[in-house]
Amino acid sequence: MAQPLAAPAARGQKRRMIIATELTWVAPEAAFLALSGPGVAFLDSSATGDARACVSYLCLAPQATLVLAEAPYTALRNWMAAHQPAPLPNWPFPFKGGAVGWIGYDAARVCAGVDSRHPPMQGLPPGWFGLYTTLLGFDHTTQRLHYLGPRERLVEIAARLAVPAAALPLPSLDWHAEMGRDAYLAGHERLRDYIAAGDVYQANFTFRFTTPRPPQATLPALHMALRALSPAPFAACIDAGHYGLVSASPERFIRLHADGRVETRPIKGTAARHPDPALDAAAARALSQNPKERAENLMITDLLRHDLGQVCAIGSITVPELFAVESFAQAHHLVSAVTGQLRPGLDAFDLLAATLPGGSITGAPKRRAMQIIDELEPAPRGAYCGTLAWIGFDGAMDSAIIIRTITATANTLYAQAGGGITWDSSAPAEYEEAMLKISPLLALGHG
């Protein structure tokens, strides 16, 4: 039953009546096609049958937007505080309205005090968020759809959902590598020199592909093509107008419950899927027992235990899962879990400040790894390897690492991949692993 409550309006305007009510079920992707456009944020848990992919959100008509520059954590906290709504109606999803967007790797690197030799990425801000109180929530398990938003928009939205939307064709794309295989192999060996010298134990080394962006390569068209090739539990399409992100991320970064419970799930360790079920299961078993992959995962798990220790209560940090294998469309991954309890008086923004950039996409020790990454990679990372997040008005948060992601500016599309390099890493094998990870992105626009 709808529960009307008054929500804030701009000065001099009438307050809108916000309701929460159930609608007739429409699949998330169909709703996205019907309602997509600038300002829409689609948090698309599209990995069918995956326990991590039980809820999706379609966030519509942001009441405010924020382009991040310096001091993103303080700016986000102050911005959300200035737009705090009246209490919203109850509805049965973890995200109960708030901010959705991203903080890029380079913004987090600056906050961590690490300089860069690269100029800032052109055409894409360091971060972007929209503030949403108009949402569709999709419960995949029960196939129930709920609406949260202004009463006056409900009829229009329901009418648009009732009309089947046409598929979005994607034009041909011409991807080019900024770093060829030989250059990658040379960079890998330089990184191993740093490991041998004791600078780092591990560093995440990546490379990038680019393509001109045709006008028909809209963010919704890119997202629908990518979700068909690589459904993922933390997929998303953030359409900020002339720029945005299309992500098939498999990796949760930080989850924060409203009561202060924290979880992070770093991915380190990869094995290709196999069409033969027996061989596929054997690949997963081999990954779980691989000494190199387990050592790499343990290093990053320890790093994240340290990061969470800066903001979590003493004695609260545990590792309930170590070296679990999770399976995705193209790859098996080795995943661990670290949990804790946020200290009283701290919030999601303190948590992000303590943990970004994520350890799984920097290395250990984190600061020196970031310096080496900047030296070896030929371009800024921009949004890639930052975090895509929702941050609720109630203090809860969920976030993903920005990997397996297309970054879109007005004129260019970017795709990037890599992996953690240790002393035992094989340069050719690491290159092939990175190409496996990026393969669904490069397949976009190829028929």
Q: Taking a C-beta distance cutoff of 8 angstroms, is the pair 418, 151 a contact?
A: no
What is the residue type of 407?
T
Q: Taking a C-beta distance cutoff of 8 angstroms, is the pair 271, 285 a contact?
A: no
Collapsed DSSP state (helix, strand, coil) of residue 57: strand
Cross-strand pairs, 203: 363, 421
Burial of 56 (0-12, 13-18, 19+ CB in 10 A): buried
Collapsed DSSP state (helix, strand, coil) of residue 210: strand
Query: Annotated catalytic, 251?
Result: yes
Tally of CB atoms within 10 A around 14: 8
Q: Taking a C-beta distance cutoff of 8 angstroms, is the pair 438, 208 a contact?
A: no
Query: Annotated catalytic, 14?
Result: no
Q: Which of 291, 381, 393, 285 is nearest to 347 (CA)?
A: 393
What is the residue type of 87?
P
Burial of 358 (0-12, 13-18, 19+ CB in 10 A): buried
What is the residue type of 442?
L
Cross-strand pairs, 60: 134
Catalytic residue selected from 268, 296, 430, 437: 268
Per DSSP, the residues of 131-189 read EESEEEEEETTTTEEEEEEEHHHHHHHHHHHTSPPPP--------EESS-HHHHHHHHH
Cross-strand pairs, 405: 247
What is the rounded distance in angstroms from the CA atom of residue 63 to the CA atom of residue 201? 45
Catalytic residue selected from 29, 96, 251, 296: 251
Query: Does the CA dihedral 138-139-141-142 come out positive or negative?
Result: negative
Nearest-10 crossing angle of helices 427-442, 219-229: 120
Query: Does the CA dihedral 111-117-120-121 come out positive or negative?
Result: negative
Q: Cα(first)–Cα(last) distance of the chain, in Å?
A: 46
Residues known to be catalytic: 251, 268
